[in-house]
Each structure stands twice: as structure tokens, then as C-alpha cells.
Amino acid sequence: MFDHIPVFHVVFQFIFCTLAVLFMLYDIALLMATYAYRNDQNIPFAYLVVMNVCGVLCKIAFITDFVTYLALPYYEYLSYREFIGREFTMLGTLTYFIPMCVSVLMTMNRFFIVIRPTDQRVFGQKRIFFYSFLILILCFTVLIIPRLSYCPVNFLASTLVFLTACAPERHPVTKFTNINAIWVPTTLLVINVLMMLHLKANRYDIYSRIRQKSSVVSMTSSNSLAQSQIRREHMLMRQTVAITVGLSFYEVGSLLMRTWPDQYNALPQWVRDLTFYFRLETICAINFFVYHLGSPSTRKMLMKYFRSGELKRDLSTRKISSTFQMSRIES
């Protein structure tokens, strides 16, 4: 079955797919928990839904790429990639670009919270869904242009290469996104770190005076509301920084390869392949990294969801057992 595949790639593609499946199950569980606690004002409901839906679809695309390569004979795999490989490549890229652009939206949301902490109508949940839909249209347009052109992109798991139909050339749109995508996570990372340091230094000085000059409504707002806003502010800050760091792994790797191609090509083939697997796996791990390791409130929500589910199952089991025992007594 694996005669045409080097053992190195069999092992690491199996590891990649296993981890990707686990991360996908986490995304599904978090999506279910998010829906269950959709009325909780302390969680970024819209962001969680968008990020987890993208995470599930992205992992489906990546897993399909590697599983078909492992399962099919080589020539059948090439025929399969020729038939529908471009669409799966586009799906994986689309669901990678959307979180990157949503991180821009998160940063704008974060900045707006700092400037106007009591007025969040601009970034209400429904509006965030609307902005995310606009992002979807933008990213889809950027990707559909090369797809319908003379130079679509097709990922080949056999060579770990995003191959274009006009290779070695690339469509101008593809070339533009490949070169400039690095600036999105790196710029956002710098902005968020600077914003974080600025807030830590001035929270009880500059912004306290800004709050004093705000409207009467904000002056009479309750301490619980203020604390809720601060928690939400901290949560968005941590999540945005974590997303930009996660996305930077893949883009920084691409930048280094373009900047020093001779040095990169001089590395052993197994090192280059292992680097690619690691970079691709970081994309799959973003939601786990952001919402489980980097967000205690989201982690607690997920654990609370599982505990409540276990409690319901336990109560249901006890009820069935009690009914069965009563029926035996009556008989």
C-alpha cells in the first residue's frame, strides 16, 4: 500500500493527520460549547464560531490531501488531484486567510475597546458576523481569480509543493499574496504588543481621565460591567497576540526560504520536509493554542460544558436504573 512512499513521509504524514484529527475534534467540541453558552456576554461568541468553523474546514482539506496520498496508488492520486485537488487547495488556503484577516478585525476591536470602552455597538456580535462575511468575500475573490485563470494552484502531498499550472511562474495575485501575507501577522503582533505595554503603563492614569470625561452613562456604570469589559479586553488581547504568533510560524518560514533560498536548499531534504510538516501543523493547532492554552476563560467554559454533559448523562442513567428497579419491585 505504501510501496511508492518513503517511510519518512509515511510516518510523519500519519503523525500529522493524527494530530490534525485531534485538533479538529477540539474545534468541534469548542464550537458546540460556544453554541451552548452563546448568551454569555463574557465570551467572544462570533469570533469563536468563525475561527472554529474555519479550523474544521482547514483541517478537513489538509487531512484529505495526505490521506488520499497515503491510501491511493500514485497515478490514481495524481488523477484525483487533477480532478478536485485545486478545490481542496483553495479550501485550505481560504480557511487559512480568513483567520489571518479576522485577526485584523480583532485588533481593530481591541483598539476600539481602548478608545471607547462603553460603546461596543460597532463590534456587536451580529456586526462581527457581517464583517467576517465581508472578509470571506474578499478572501474568496483573491483566491478564485488564480483558480479560474491559466495558473491555478494545486498542492501535492507527494512533493510537499504548492504547484502551479504555469510553473515555475505564478499568477500575479498568487505572487502578491505569497510575498505580502507575512506583513499581516507580524504587523499585528507589533501593534498588539505595543498596545499591551502602553495599557499596562497607563491604565490607571491616562485612561482613567478619559473615562472621567465620558458620558454620564459611563460614569454611572456598575463595577461589574467595568470588570466584564476589562476581562473581555484582556481576552481579546491574548487571543489576538496568540493568533498572530501562530500564523507567523508559517509565514516567517516562507520569508526565510525566499530570503535565503541557497542556504535553505543546501539543507538535507529530510530537514526541509520536517520543517514543512511543522509549519503546516502550527496552522492546525492555532485554535487549540489560542483558546485552550492562551485563554483560561474559554478553557473553563469548555470544561464546564463537558462537566454539565457528564452530569446530564449521569442523571439520565440513574433515572433509567431507578425506573427499572421500580418496575422489578412492582412485578
Structural domain includes residue 313: no
Q: Quick check: is 16 in a domain?
A: yes
- What would the pLDDT profile of 302-315 be if each residue is shown by its tens digit? 888 888 765 455 44
Q: Could you read off the pLDDT of 116-173 as tens digits, one per residue? A: 766 667 888 899 999 999 999 999 999 999 999 999 999 999 899 899 999 889 999 9
On the question of pLDDT at 330 being above 50, the answer is no
Question: What is the rounded CA–CA span in Å between residue 252 and residue 184?
Answer: 11
Q: What's the pLDDT score for residue 106?
A: 86
Q: Is the four-CA dihedral 324, 326, 329, 330 of positive or negative sign?
A: negative
Domain containing residue 243: CATH number: 1.20.1070.10
Residue 325 lies in a domain: no
**pLDDT higher than threshold 60 for residue 321:** no
Query: In the predicted model, is pLDDT for residue 5 greater than 70?
Result: yes
How many domains does the chain divide into? 1
What would the pLDDT profile of 11-50 be if each residue is shown by its tens digit? Answer: 999 999 999 999 999 999 999 999 998 888 778 899 999 9
- Cα separation of 174 and 167, whole Å? 12
CA dihedral sign, ordered 281, 196, 99, 188: negative
In Å, how far are 29, 188, 272 from 304, measured between CA atoms?
A: 12, 32, 42
Confirm whether 329 is domain-assigned.
Answer: no
Does 318 map to a domain? Answer: no
* Global pTM exceeds 0.85: no
User: Does residue 324 carry a pLDDT above 70?
Assistant: no
Instruction: Please provide the average confidence, as pLDDT, over all residues in the chain.
Output: 81
Domain of residue 12 covers: 7-306
Pairwise pLDDT comparison (222 vs 180), residue with the higher score: 180
Cβ-based burial of 5 (10 A; exposed 0-12, middle 13-18, buried ≥19):
middle
Rama region for 156: left / alpha / beta (φ>0; ψ in -120 to 50; rest)? beta
Q: What is the residue-wise DSSP string for 102-168? A: HHHHHHHHHHHHHH-TT--STT-HHHHHHHHHHHHHHHHHHHHHHHTSS--EEEETTTTEEEETTTT
27 in a structural domain: yes
**In this structure, is residue 79 part of a structural domain?**
yes
- Specify the pLDDT at position 122: 82
Provide the Cα torsion 44, 284, 276, 71; round to 10°: -160
Grid coordinates in use for 231?
476581562
In a domain, 174, yes or no: yes
